[in-house]
Amino acid sequence: MQISSLLKPRIFLLIVTIGAELCFGRRLPKPVLLIHGLTAGANSMAYVAARIKQHNPETTIYITDAYSYAASLAPLQQQLDGDIGRQFRRISKAHPEGFHVIGHSQGALLARTLIQSYINHTVHNCIFMAGILDGEYGTPAFVKPLLPLGEFPPTLEFISTLFYTPPAQSSLSAANFWHDPFQPTKYLKENTFLPYYNNEILTDKSYSYRQAIIKLKKIVCIFGPDDAVAIPWQTGDFSFYDYYGRMRNCTERPIYDAIGLRVLDEQGRFKRYIHPGVEHAQFVFDDEVISRYVLPHLD
Ligand SMILES: *[C@@H]1O[C@H](CO)[C@@H](O)[C@H](O)[C@H]1NC(C)=O
Ligand SMILES: *[C@@H]1O[C@H](CO)[C@@H](O)[C@H](O)[C@H]1NC(C)=O
């Protein structure tokens, strides 16, 4: 009696599963979560969503509209703790079979840190489009209106002075991903976000930040030299300047081991695609980029 009542629910589940497989003839595509970039909203991801639907109409697509437009400037930890984090955890719980995430620009950094901060995530593939993955050190147009000097191009040193302060860190996402390679001590001391998720400052969370990355099936980085907003553009695959201002491939950077990228890379699970001729905002509207590098990784 006891054994059969224990078995019953399992047999029922088995039948349902087989039934579903037979009905559809194949597995349903994994759901996809799309995360917009800085100063953008859900509609910046609508074209990618449309292309995914066209490619596979059965795909469930979630596009977050949390922290859109001006609200996207909110400090990143606040965004992780807020609606965007709640949505991410809810989707993880709703899809134990797995889902994919696509993040653009700041949305790529949000995607990676959402994953890192939730060890129970069920993300399979994470696709970063023109991602600001190891931060930014340059002044694209979007930074200029935020600065008190108005039209005068501020020096990068001046921006560091401004951004590496508690008020900037607690109010502005761009300050959280500001990564000054020439002032490593100040960066580690004053940046309250990036050094932690890079495992450059170790805490009791560092281990799970790394495990959560290793748990992914695949990381896909799509980026290119004509980006002009992500500076340096190589931050799109975790490459960045060293202390002497020399560009270093991510494989030569501490982050490669610190957050588990090497583990993925050695198993062929860390894909990088450099695509020239596409500007930052256009990555999510470019047919060639989407069909060559995004759709094939939604398996
Ligand atoms: C993750 O899942 C495990 C096992 O179900 C559970 O014990 C743990 O509390 C969960 N952690 C979080 C952060 O939800
Ligand atoms: C870093 O090196 C890898 C392997 O050679 C390459 O695929 C990747 O594109 C390089 N990244 C940059 C930014 O050059």
Do 175 and 169 touch, CB atoms closer than 8 A? yes
Higher pLDDT, 212 or 151: 212
249 in ligand 1 pocket by Cβ < 6 Å? no
Q: Which residues are catalytic?
A: 105, 227, 280
| Phi (first) and psi of residue 128, to 5 degrees | -105, 120
Q: Which ligand is nearest to the CA of 208?
A: 1
Return the residue whose CA atom lies nearest to atom 4 of ligand 1: 120
pLDDT in tens, 45-87: 999 999 999 999 999 999 999 999 999 999 999 999 999 999 9
pLDDT exceeds cutoff 80 at 291: yes
Distance of CA 116 from the midpoint of ligand 1 (Å): 14
Do 18 and 88 touch, CB atoms closer than 8 A? no
Return the residue whose CA atom lies nearest to atom 12 of ligand 2: 249
Q: Residues 124-143: what's their mean pLDDT?
A: 90
Q: Which ligand is nearest to the CA of 237?
A: 2
Residue 293 CB contacts under 8 Å (≥ 6 apart), including other chains: 127, 220, 222, 273, 275
93 in ligand 1 pocket by Cβ < 6 Å? no
Q: With bands split at pLDDT 50, 70 and 90, how would you rate the model's confidence at 155?
A: confident
Q: Residues 13-28: what's their mean pLDDT?
A: 49
170 in ligand 1 pocket by Cβ < 6 Å? no
Q: What is the pLDDT of residue 75?
A: 98
Question: Which 8-state DSSP code applies to residue 148?
Answer: T
Higher pLDDT, 210 or 5: 210
Q: Which two tokens stand for residue 271?
A: 């894909």
Q: With bands split at pLDDT 50, 70 and 90, how would you rate the model's confidence at 39?
A: confident
3-state DSSP percent of the chain in helix, strand and coil, to 5: 50, 10, 40
Return the residue whose CA atom lies nearest to atom 8 of ligand 2: 272
pLDDT in tens, 252-289: 999 999 999 999 999 999 999 999 999 999 999 999 99
Ligand 1, pocket-test mutation among 119, 122, 209, most atoms within 8 A of CB: 119
Q: What is the pTM of this model?
A: 0.89
235 in ligand 2 pocket by Cβ < 6 Å? no
pLDDT in tens, 195-205: 999 999 999 99
Percent of the chain with pLDDT over 70: 87
Q: With bands split at pLDDT 50, 70 and 90, how would you rate the model's confidence at 154?
A: confident
> In this structure, how many other beta carbons lie within 10 angstroms of the beta carbon of residue 96?
9
Distance CA 188, CA 61 (A): 37
Distance of CA 249 from the midpoint of ligand 2 (Å): 6
Picking from 219, 189, 215, 183, the residue whose alpha carbon sits closest to that of residue 201 is: 189
Q: With bands split at pLDDT 50, 70 and 90, how would you rate the model's confidence at 17?
A: very low
